[in-house]
Amino acid sequence: MRKFAIYGKGGIGKSTTAANISASLARLGKKVIQIGCDPKADSTWNLLHGEPVMPVMDYYRTYTEEPDFEHIGKTGYGGVFCIETGGPTPGLGCAGRGIIATFDLIDELEVFDRIQPDVVLYDVLGDVVCGGFSAPIRDGYADEIFIVTSGEKMALYAAGNIIKAVENFKDRGYAQVRGIILNRRNVENEYDIVQAFANSHNLPIIADIPRSKEIQYYENQGMTVVEGNPDLPVSLLYQELARKLMDTPASDAR
Amino acid sequence: MKQAQRVLSTYAVDMFGIASALFELGGLVVMHDASGCNSTYDTHDEPRWYDTPSMVYISGLNEIDTIQGNDQRLIHDIAEVTDAVHPAFIAIGGSPMPNAIGTDFRAIEKMVQERTGIFTMGFRTDGIHSYLPGAGNAYVRLAQHFLKRPFRQPQRPARRINILGLTPLDFSVVGNATAIKTILTEAGFIIQSSWSMGDTLDNLFEAANADVNAVVSSTGLYLAQYMQEQYGIPYVAGIPMGKQGTADWLQALREGDTSYLTGLTGREPREKPQYALADLNAWKTETVYDDQPCDALVIGEPVYLLSMGNLLRHELGLSTVRLLCPLADAPQLLLRHIETVSVEPVIREECRKAQHVLADPIYARLLPEKQDAFISLPHEAYSGRHYHDEMPVIAGPDIADWLRDRLK
């Protein structure tokens, strides 16, 4: 079982990337679980055709008890099992603790044992802002981290912070950063800027996703572009990225 | 406000279960908390504190370290203490605040072990769950690391026996541990190990050579299931109570009969204490049961309840006996014939329906007008040292006569 975590600045396209990777892996015949770790709970929308799964924290809030296996997630496009941690009411509570509680429940319900996935993909909010948001890369969860960034200054700054946080965790046995996914925003000399950033951290750019109207078009229809039209150039790039993730041994982290 | 306890107490928490289980084994036990836990545990729930050397410490977590998530001071302090006291192992667990900020005890475990070179266990406790999964988890982690491979297979009839789940939280220090061991040895059993009163860590390493495990409290069930799975050692849950109850218990042990009192087969999937510790709703059990009056209501820990229920029904002739466990995070396997209620008004109503209530004396506060109905059976994990003088020895034949006098 491969376990990947996708990090990056808020709004940079992590969920779009994660959902398209999941859809691509499903097309390769892989059994995938995607876990959205964001109070917005929008990671898996485009795998579920506009019928989202009830986030775990919403379930607790509504029913004052934990969901069982039948209610913790929902099967979406290509058999991808979708889970959303969700979070507390905005402005209240502790979203990070909600992620930890959801992971405890995933363990307790033996979700991985029951589904036997080939890949688990964690899509994590913005930055490693507290202990809860490092939970996906703690020992036993994701093994490999990928950072989504554009050539924009703030996106690279956030990416640098994530790398720094992970380096701080090196004696804790946490997952390691394996590469950069460039999600273009049409910044001038964007590839060169991101390449320089990646080089300075000794990381590869493993995908270069162009800005694409087709992504938005299919998302408006509640699906990933990979599902909507797998033969489009951008869809082929996601599928190539998915293949690359699977083909690269986990030990080639750096 | 349903969860508010107005007159009742709370049970010893998860971290106290860990400290109690490991108390005599030569390990360093660190409670990660601002303060208070250590002294509460030591003065109320740990009667051995006054006359037995131990290594239970508090970390002294402060506000800025909490905000910063600074685990380094904890790790440094543990390393410093370790250099001074040379423990056999290290156990670290949390209280509500480390739990709230998601402290990664697994990472702390790794870093402490790397720094000290000593086997370390990190526990995700929160000071909210009960001692049952806490102690249970400590036993399993200890066994997973230290148990030596057995050099013999479990035999029938069984002779070599482990006692699992023996801590003062359920048996105090009034003679129960000695009584259980005496009953076993006089019946021809050889005590392989005792988890964990009156034994050494070195001796516990050999526990896999036993023929049978005697689970005397729920804290031992998790380890019993682990040893059943790993080494095929059967387990029997129960406390010897009354003449017939003691004889039946001994016979069940000889035969390795797991169904005794519990109806279990021994092939049930393992219950994992870490799941009980992570359950967010552990204390919300408020089911209301039937309104039928009963001869006796017994309140307490599940293995004790099953044993006491057996004694009351079969040796003392009570026809309707109800068993009530307020510890909602007890092993579910043991709760099949036990009602679980942890909400004070509901427990009060259950007590009202009973002619006799056998419980820790704190429960008598629920019905001041019905004091005569309550028979005081103090439970260390509930009222601490407060009622030591009233504690009878519950293990052995004599408890039947003690109860007979009070049920008149």
The pLDDT value given to residue B282: 62
Q: Name the B residues in 91-150 with CB < 8 Å from any A CB.
A: 100-104, 106-107, 110-111, 114
**Token digits of residue B228:** 């059943």
The pLDDT value given to residue A241: 97
Residues of chain A contacting residue B116, judged by C-beta atoms under 8 Å apart: none
The answer to whether A123 is a known catalytic residue is: no
Tens-digit pLDDT profile for residues B170-195: 999 999 999 999 999 999 999 999 99
Residue B58 pairs with which residues in a beta bridge? Answer: B31
**Token digits of residue A203:** 């990381």
Distance (Å, rounded) from C-alpha A55 to C-alpha A48? 13
**Whole-Å CA distances, B51 to B12, B47, B170, B194:** 21, 8, 19, 20
The answer to whether A42 is a known catalytic residue is: no
Q: Strand B28-32's sheet: what is its strand order?
A: B56-58, B28-32, B90-94, B120-123
Tens-digit pLDDT profile for residues B239-296: 999 999 999 999 999 999 999 999 999 999 999 888 887 777 666 666 666 678 999 9
B213, B194 contact by CB (below 8 A): no
B371-398 average pLDDT score: 95
pLDDT greater than 60 at residue A253: no
Window from B38-47, B137-146, B265-274, B318-327 with minimum mean pLDDT: B38-47
Q: Name the B residues in 240-279 with CB < 8 Å from any A CB.
A: 274-275, 278-279
Rounded to the nearest integer, the mean pLDDT of chain A is 92
Which candidate in A3, A14, A30, A74 is catalytic?
A14
Distance (Å, rounded) from C-alpha B158 to C-alpha A147? 59
User: What's the structural domain count of chain A?
Assistant: 1
Distance (Å, rounded) from C-alpha B190 to C-alpha B254? 12
- CB neighbours of B30 closer than 8 A, spacing ≥ 6? B57, B58, B59, B74, B78, B90, B91, B92, B93
B105-125 average pLDDT score: 96
Amino acid symbol at B98: P
pLDDT greater than 70 at residue A252: no
Which residue among B69, B280, B281 places its CB closest to the CB of A131? B69
**pTM for this entry:** 0.91
Distance (Å, rounded) from C-alpha B22 to C-alpha B138? 7
Closest CA in chain B for residue A175: B107
The pLDDT value given to residue B279: 75
Q: Do you find a cis peptide bond into B196, omega within 30 degrees of 0?
A: yes
Rounded to a whole number, what is the distance in Å from the CA of A211 to chain B's nearest CA? 37
How far, in whole angstroms, is CA B136 from its chain's centroid? 7
Contact B278 A107 (CB under 8 A): yes
Amino acid symbol at B143: A
Contact A94 B100 (CB under 8 A): yes
Distance (Å, rounded) from C-alpha A42 to C-alpha A23? 15
Closest CA in chain A for residue B106: A139
Q: Strand B354-359's sheet: what is its strand order?
A: B339-340, B321-325, B294-299, B354-359, B374-376
A196-225 average pLDDT score: 96
A15-43 average pLDDT score: 96
User: CATH no. for residue A146?
Assistant: 3.40.50.300
Tens-digit pLDDT profile for residues B191-250: 999 999 999 999 999 999 999 999 999 999 999 999 999 999 999 999 999 999 999 999
**Token digits of residue B202:** 């070195």
Cα torsion through B77, B82, B83, B88, rounded to 10? -170
A5, A175 contact by CB (below 8 A): yes
Which of A66, A104, A114 should we substitute to test contact with B (largest number of B Cβ atoms within 10 Å)?
A104
Q: Within 10 A of B313 (CB to CB), how many other CB atoms are there?
A: 15
Q: Give residue limits of the domains in chain B.
A: 14-146, 160-275, 294-407
The pLDDT value given to residue B1: 57
Q: Name the A residues in 151-180 with CB < 8 Å from any B CB.
A: 169, 171-174
The pLDDT value given to residue B319: 92
Place of tokens 């990056």: A8
* Domain span at A9: 2-247
Contact B114 A171 (CB under 8 A): yes
The pLDDT value given to residue B281: 66
pLDDT above 70 covers what percent of chain B? 97
A60, A35 contact by CB (below 8 A): no
Distance (Å, rounded) from C-alpha A101 to C-alpha A135? 10
Per-residue confidence at A167, pLDDT binned at 50, 70, 90?
confident
| CB-count burial class (<10 Å; 0-12, 13-18, 19+) for A213 | exposed
Q: Which of B24, B54, B381 is nearest to B197 (CA)?
A: B24
pLDDT greater than 70 at residue A254: no
Class of domain B160-275: alpha beta
The pLDDT value given to residue A131: 81
The answer to whether A30 is a known catalytic residue is: no
Residues of chain A contacting residue B114, judged by C-beta atoms under 8 Å apart: 171
Q: Name the A residues in 116-145 with CB < 8 Å from any B CB.
A: 130-132, 134-135, 138-140
Query: Would you list the DSSP string of B30-57?
Result: EEESSSSHHHHIIIII-GGGGTS---EE
pLDDT greater than 70 at residue A135: yes
Amino acid symbol at A61: R
Which residue among B104, B114, B278 places its CB closest to the CB of A108? B278
Distance (Å, rounded) from C-alpha B123 to C-alpha B276? 12
The answer to whether A40 is a known catalytic residue is: yes
Rounded to a whole number, what is the distance in Å from the CA of B229 to chain A's nearest CA? 18
Tell me the longest C-alpha to C-alpha distance in chain A. Answer: 52
Phi, psi of B63, deg, nearest 5: -65, -45
pLDDT greater than 70 at residue A111: yes
Distance (Å, rounded) from C-alpha B282 to C-alpha B288? 17
Contact A97 B279 (CB under 8 A): no
The pLDDT value given to residue B288: 60
Tens-digit pLDDT profile for residues A59-103: 998 988 889 999 999 999 999 999 999 998 888 888 888 999 999
Place of tokens 């554009």: A150
Residue A145 pairs with which residues in a beta bridge? Answer: A5, A177
Higher pLDDT, A252 or B217: B217
Tens-digit pLDDT profile for residues A223-245: 999 999 999 999 999 999 999 99
Window from A10-14, B21-25, B33-37, B222-226 with minimum mean pLDDT: B33-37
- Is B69's Cβ below 8 Å from some Cβ in A? yes
Distance (Å, rounded) from C-alpha A115 to C-alpha B131? 33
The pLDDT value given to residue B5: 81
Rounded to the nearest integer, the mean pLDDT of chain B is 93
Residue B340 Ramachandran class (φ > 0 left, ψ -120 to 50 alpha, else beta): beta
Contact B110 A171 (CB under 8 A): yes
B272-293 per-residue burial string, b: 16 or more CB within 10 A, e: under 16: bbbbbbbbeebbebbeeeeeee
- Is B2's Cβ below 8 Å from some Cβ in A? no
Place of tokens 């466990």: B325
* Domain made up of B294-407: CATH architecture: 3-Layer(aba) Sandwich (3.40)
Distance (Å, rounded) from C-alpha B386 to C-alpha B361? 10
- Is B281's Cβ below 8 Å from some Cβ in A? yes
The pLDDT value given to residue A65: 85
Rounded to a whole number, what is the distance in Å from the CA of A216 to chain B's nearest CA? 36
Overall fold of domain B14-146: Rossmann fold (3.40.50)
Residues of chain B contacting residue A100, judged by C-beta atoms under 8 Å apart: 102
The pLDDT value given to residue B111: 95
SS3 readout for A125-156: CCCCCCHHHHHHHCCCCCCEEEEEECCCHHHH
Which residue among B100, B107, B281 places its CB closest to the CB of A138? B107
Contact B280 A66 (CB under 8 A): yes
Q: Do you find a cis peptide bond into B376, omega within 30 degrees of 0?
A: no
Which residue among A66, A97, A107 places its CB closest to the CB of B102? A97
